[in-house]
Structure 1
Amino acid sequence: MSIIQFKEANCKNCYKCIRSCPVKAIAFINDQARIVEEDCMLCGNCLTVCPQNAKIVKSEVDTVKGFIRKKEKVYVSLAPSFVSAFENADEVWLYAALKKLGFTYIEETAVGAAQVSKKYDQLIKEKKMKNIITSACPSITLLVQKYYPELVDQLAPVVSPMIAHGKMLREMYGPRIKVVFIGPCLSKKDECNDLQTRGVIDAAITFEELDAWLLEEGITDDIDLTDEIKGVRELRARIYPVPGGIIKTLESRNNKNYQCLSVDGVERCIKILDSIKNDGLENYFIEMNSCSGGCIGGPCMKHIKGGFLEARRRLLTYLKRGLKEEKLVSTRDSKVDLKRNFFDMQKKGAVPSESAIQGILNSIGKFTADKELNCGACGYSSCRDKAIAVYNNRAQLHMCLPYMRERAESMSNLIINTTPNAIFALNEKLCIQEANYSAQKIFGLNKSSLEGKSIFEVLECGDFQFVIDSKKNIYDEKYYYEKYDMTVTQSIIYVPDQNIVVVVIKDITDEERQIQKMHKIREENVELAQKVIEKQMRVAQEIASLLGETTAETKVALTKLKKSIMSEMGDVK
């Protein structure tokens, strides 16, 4: 499971995370960002820049709570930058708060940092390495192993202060204890699971996670502050979190074997590594920290009011105060093995041919070099880099914003200017801002003289004023413009976001004339039919009259005949 995770619903395709990622270890698949774990150096830049808070950090707080519930002995390795993370609480309060959460023992990671500095001193004195790049920052060691494998032998073969301190705690209190690191660092979560150091640190939680946990438990300033505070023998090691802090802890910092240099921030570290790789720099002891401002600028640092300057001031004040308080000094030393090996972890993606790259560029309208804007909006530094990412299924074609905008604009213009309907865009004063080709043609207008002209100078209709005043739309209303002898159906739509009115007019004059012609024909046909009916009725009446007279006469004759016959029958009898 990835340490950095994305909330799918929140990713808005702004590509800010890719732009901020120094190694482009983010892929976009189906419009959703994904961390490419094998390439990620866990610098945390994508966390801090995401405007949608779409990225979250895998939490191990529940794991630590489980240790405590099971009555395990849980020891804390506390990064000294804690004094810069909790604005209204000093170290005494935080130690007591951690005890209240259920931790068995709390000690500063600076205990391990002091031992790491001794190893660095030894490497400087031996002068066996071309350059010495500090290995205290896990993100830097990942960067070198994944992207500068040829410089792996220049990483100091020493564990980080966290691992050193974890080993020392287990050396003193037994291997069965649980050790939890608390600090501002994201990559420490990954370092806990490194094959070489697995089992030394059982879990790592951030200051932000700790703060949320304290709030959840309702732990406030009103707690028992009687617990003894444990310190370190080498109090200078508390300065590790600030740029140049490691160098200041070295006994041999003014040596002649190596020139000491401090570099913080991923971009600057990459530039230095490029110089070492390409320019053959030698005899440098380089303190590298991926976070700008050192550990007190970490991605999971609980930032306080005053920012970096206040965080640095609080840490230096804590260091100076500790130097004066003998009760904080511990005389413990250690003989644990602090050796660490580093390896080539580079994963090379497929390298497309020049024709494949050009084919991808052509598919987004970049047929010539001048079309390759290299604007960086997609997150990649050049159009070619983005094309390579597309080839490796890490990016999508439509991530090119200039191309998509140009395409959208051309499609919109094509639709608007080819529709047979007249379209006007009016501002809040009902002055014409835009009129499409059909509007100009239908009403015999000249585009050059249209802009800024009142719609009432073109079309006399009170509905425009009604819509802008009432903000109520009118749809498909039939209207006759006497000036143009034209019948239309028009929709007048208010757009609140832009405070404009859009008018869509369909000329139905020919249809209306055809309807009127057909109506006249129908009226004539009805009149003709009525005349025929009336004539037929008269004929029918005349026929009926004649039939009535002849029937009466026939009846009289037959009656007489009947009587005559009956009379004759009576005589016979």
Structure 2
Amino acid sequence: MINIIEFKKSNCKNCYKCIRSCPIKAISFNNNQAKIIDDNCILCGNCLKVCTQHAKSVIDETEKVKKFIEKKYSVYASIAPSFPSAFKSHNAKALFSAIKKLGFSYIQETAIGAYAVSMEYEKLIKKCEMNNIISTACPVVVSLVEKYYPVAIQFLAPVVSPMIAHAKMLKHTYGENIKVVFIGPCLSKKKEYRDGENDYLIDAVITFDELKKWFEDEGINLNKFQDENIKYDEPLIERYYPIVGGILKTLDDQSNYKLLSVDGLENCMETLDSIVKGNINGYFIEMNSCRGGCINGPCNTSKSFIEAYDDILNYASNKNTISDLKDIKVNVNLSKFFCNREVKNSIPDDESISYILKKIGKFKKEDELNCGACGYSSCREKAIAVYNNKADLNMCLPYMKEKAESISNIIINSSPNAILALNSELYIQEANNSVYRIFNIENIKLAGKNVFEFFDCPDFVIVMDTGKDILNKKVYYEKFDVTVEQSVIYVKDHDAIIIIMKDITKEEKNQEQLNKFRRETVEIAQRVIEKQMRVAQEIASLLGETTAETKVALTKLKDTIVTKMGESE
């Protein structure tokens, strides 16, 4: 099975916006990643419209079409009647000429297929055999009924869509070997043509957005294209198909049914609910999944709704290029068979739901906020999705916020260090418990105060101005008689400052006492040394005098002895 919508994992940012926009919750979210549940998806395209992260893309078959052209196939374009709403040029001939420039052999409006479909609708209305008739031009509506309202399959008009009808007519007229490429605003057409019942009728589908990209790649400017040789052979009234009520315009007002137009999936689902309950009878209902009709399709993104609507009206009212309706011949089978493809989710019992809810802190009814942030309309609906492995417990934003705040508060307030958070203007945003304890600040709320009212340190300004951290610097706050080992850290993403202060007052005072003791010891030692030196000097002085006297006495004695010895000789 080919995935029509593809995800870019790196772009999916846990916003749950696509889940909120999905009317049938065909998107699962596991391991921080959203994923389309293909069997559940009806390809309405809402998730594409709302995704601001560009995490989703549509499978592009432009290259496939280029290969058809390169291989010299006869490539026929069936272009949806909403095309005037997609392109800036008001000249359809310019658009048709530009498409031919790309290598297409022939271009024709799908409105011809819509004419054939309307004829089939008229037959059903005249037979008056169905209690209600739901139009089947929109493949999203068909998928919605087959998968989520199978009881209402009996009310689907057993008629193919204009795209399929036109493809059958083209191949019947020009041969089975031609390649038919549908060009339109609809995402679901990429899936419809792969339906086994439609094999080989449509060979590729490209969107208006993809066609515009192709023009850009080839350097084609529609405003510079004119080709008066292009002929129109499509009917008039079927050009209204892409706007609300467009199908009804093609039907006989004097029908046996009440005519009703319903657009937007929410309205379609509400109407189907009423049909299933038996509250609606005798209606022919034109259903379109896109609010405002096909001109608001997910792959038609160039204009505002009003501009698109006006362009359709202007083009559809142009009577100068219309062929006679009687010239159009329909010689193909346009019947359609629908299948029950019901999507079944397991519905847990109340005990299982309660167990899941308790895991995300919802112990009583009041805890169920039903905020819808996770994408589900209620906490119980989200719990059922978790049970079916379509959602994560952690998708509950209030619970995760509370949990994150609880954990962060535990961590921050359990820290023995003082922690301050300052904004770009150096006002205190947060202060943990240790700030109040270390600086003995009582009955004062620091949040919202200028940091310099309490902590006079120029490092805060320096770090904010330079964006460079100052780490592990010893700072003495005289006002509090507190010494800290301080780190001032700049948080670029938030243009804020985090201050972490380790209280080293006691260590500093102990160190000061130790230093004082050492100084006193040194002073005592110095005094002892000095005293000893004086004693040594005094002793040395005394020894010097005694030695000199002894020397004199001994010298005299020696001289006397020597003299006496001389005399005796």
Aligned residues of 1:440 and 1:447 also touching (Cα < 8 A): no
Determine the structure 2 residue equivalent to 1:225: 227
Cα drift, residue 469 of structure 1: 4.7
Determine the structure 2 residue equivalent to 1:422: 418
Determine the structure 1 residue equivalent to 2:253: 253
Using the aligned pairs only, state the percent identity. Answer: 53
Q: How far apart, CA to CA, are the structure 1 residues paired with 2:20 and 2:425? A: 42
Cα drift, residue 193 of structure 1: 0.6
Matches within 5 A, 1:496-535: 498-516=494-512
Q: How far apart, CA to CA, are the structure 1 residues paired with 2:521 and 2:289? A: 92
Determine the structure 1 residue equivalent to 2:486: 490
Determine the structure 2 residue equivalent to 1:91: 92
Determine the structure 2 residue equivalent to 1:273: 272
Q: How far apart, CA to CA, are the structure 2 residues paired with 1:452 and 1:68? A: 68
Determine the structure 1 residue equivalent to 2:197: 196
Determine the structure 2 residue equivalent to 1:552: none
Cα drift, residue 222 of structure 1: 3.6
TM norm structure 1: 0.87
Determine the structure 2 residue equivalent to 1:571: none
SS at match of 1:313: helix
SS at match of 1:80: coil
> Counterpart of 2:15 in structure 1: which amino acid?
C
Determine the structure 1 residue equivalent to 2:309: 312
Determine the structure 1 residue equivalent to 2:460: 464
Cα drift, residue 516 of structure 1: 4.5
Cα drift, residue 197 of structure 1: 1.4
Cα drift, residue 340 of structure 1: 0.2
Q: How far apart, CA to CA, are the structure 1 residues paired with 2:469 and 2:102? A: 61
Cα drift, residue 319 of structure 1: 1.2
> Counterpart of 1:274 in structure 2: which amino acid?
D
Q: How far apart, CA to CA, are the structure 1 residues paired with 2:220 and 2:456? A: 72
SS at match of 2:198: coil
Q: Render the CA deviation track for 1:222-263: whole Å, top value 9, x for unaligned.
A: 44614332322x31011100000000001x2332x2110001
Q: Render the CA deviation track for 1:258-284: whole Å, top value 9, x for unaligned.
A: 110001111111111111112431111
Higher mean displacement: 468-477 or 500-509 = 468-477
Q: How far apart, CA to CA, are the structure 2 residues paired with 1:189 and 1:54? A: 19
Give 5+ residue unaligned stretches, structure 1: 539-573
Determine the structure 1 residue equivalent to 2:407: 411
Aligned residues of 1:230 and 1:329 also touching (Cα < 8 A): no
Q: How far apart, CA to CA, are the structure 1 residues paired with 2:182 and 2:225? A: 23
> Counterpart of 2:161 in structure 1: which amino acid?
S
Q: How far apart, CA to CA, are the structure 2 residues paired with 1:332 and 1:425? A: 76
Cα drift, residue 169 of structure 1: 0.7
Matches within 5 A, 1:165-180: 165-180=166-181
Aligned residues of 1:16 and 1:50 also touching (Cα < 8 A): yes
Aligned residues of 1:229 and 1:328 also touching (Cα < 8 A): no
Q: Render the CA deviation track for 1:450-471: whole Å, top value 9, x for unaligned.
A: 4554444433433334444554
Q: Render the CA deviation track for 1:350-384: whole Å, top value 9, x for unaligned.
A: 22222221111111101111111111100011111
Matches within 5 A, 1:427-442: 427-428=423-424, 430-442=426-438
Q: Which of 357, 360, 364 is the matching residue for 1:361?
A: 357
Determine the structure 2 residue equivalent to 1:291: 290
Aligned residues of 1:435 and 1:447 also touching (Cα < 8 A): no
Inter-CA distance 108–441: structure 2 relative to 1 (3 Å threshold) = same
Determine the structure 2 residue equivalent to 1:158: 159
Aligned residues of 2:89 and 2:95 also touching (Cα < 8 A): no
Q: How far apart, CA to CA, are the structure 1 residues paired with 2:330 and 2:161? A: 15
Cα drift, residue 94 of structure 1: 1.2
Q: How far apart, CA to CA, are the structure 2 residues paired with 1:462 and 1:324? A: 80
Q: How far apart, CA to CA, are the structure 1 residues paired with 2:490 and 2:322? A: 75
Give 5+ residue unaligned stretches, structure 2: 537-569
Q: How far apart, CA to CA, are the structure 2 residues paired with 1:471 and 1:451? A: 23
Q: How far apart, CA to CA, are the structure 2 residues paired with 1:98 and 1:425? A: 61
> Counterpart of 1:361 in structure 2: which amino acid?
L
Q: How far apart, CA to CA, are the structure 2 residues paired with 1:66 and 1:425? A: 61
Matches within 5 A, 1:95-134: 95-134=96-135
Cα drift, residue 141 of structure 1: 0.1
Cα drift, residue 330 of structure 1: 7.4
Determine the structure 1 residue equivalent to 2:330: 334
Cα drift, residue 337 of structure 1: 0.5
Cα drift, residue 386 of structure 1: 0.9
Alignment length, in residue pairs? 529
Q: Render the CA deviation track for 1:288-341: whole Å, top value 9, x for unaligned.
A: 00011101100001422xx111111111111111x3435686713112100001
Q: How far apart, CA to CA, are the structure 1 residues paired with 2:158 and 2:133? A: 9
Q: How far apart, CA to CA, are the structure 2 residues paired with 1:320 and 1:457? A: 74
Q: How far apart, CA to CA, are the structure 2 residues paired with 1:207 and 1:154? A: 31
Q: How far apart, CA to CA, are the structure 2 residues paired with 1:330 and 1:87? A: 32
Inter-CA distance 145–53: structure 2 relative to 1 (3 Å threshold) = same
Q: How far apart, CA to CA, are the structure 1 residues paired with 2:93 and 2:57? A: 30
Q: What is the root-mean-square deviation of aligned Cα atoms in Å?
A: 2.5
Q: Render the CA deviation track for 1:493-535: whole Å, top value 9, x for unaligned.
A: 3445555443321111222334445566778999999999xx9
Aligned residues of 1:230 and 1:330 also touching (Cα < 8 A): no
Inter-CA distance 477–281: structure 2 relative to 1 (3 Å threshold) = same
Inter-CA distance 302–427: structure 2 relative to 1 (3 Å threshold) = closer
SS at match of 2:197: coil
Aligned residues of 2:159 and 2:334 also touching (Cα < 8 A): yes
TM norm structure 2: 0.87
SS at match of 1:402: helix
Inter-CA distance 278–508: structure 2 relative to 1 (3 Å threshold) = same
SS at match of 2:276: helix
